[in-house]
């Protein structure tokens, strides 16, 4: 992706997720990827309750993982 092109979709949240929660996005993607028996909203709820992520950030991470078949 060219340097002047901004990420779109769920990836557009990644810089703010890293800044707010202090972990690289790879950390969050790996955690969610391990939740194989959970549905989308169950994973979102888990990130919110266990790690304190906001709904939008949690949803973006889960959507990215599921879209990439990294689940």
CB atoms within 10 A of CB 11: 15
- Those residues whose C-beta lies under 8 Å from the C-beta of residue 49, and which sit 6 or more positions away, are none
Distance CA 22, CA 40 (A): 23
Single pTM value for the model: 0.86
∠ CA(21), CA(66), CA(12), 5° rounding?
A: 45
pLDDT, one tens digit per residue, over 1-38 is 566 678 888 999 999 999 999 999 999 999 999 999 99
């Amino acid at each position: 992706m060219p340097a002047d092109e901004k990420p779109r979709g769920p990836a557009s949240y990644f810089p703010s997720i890293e800044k707010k929660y202090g972990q690289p996005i790879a950390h969050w993607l790996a955690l969610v990827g391990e939740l194989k028996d959970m549905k989308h909203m169950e994973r979102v709820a888990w990130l919110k309750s266990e790690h304190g992520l906001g709904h939008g950030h949690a949803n973006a991470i889960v959507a990215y993982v599921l879209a990439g078949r990294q689940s």
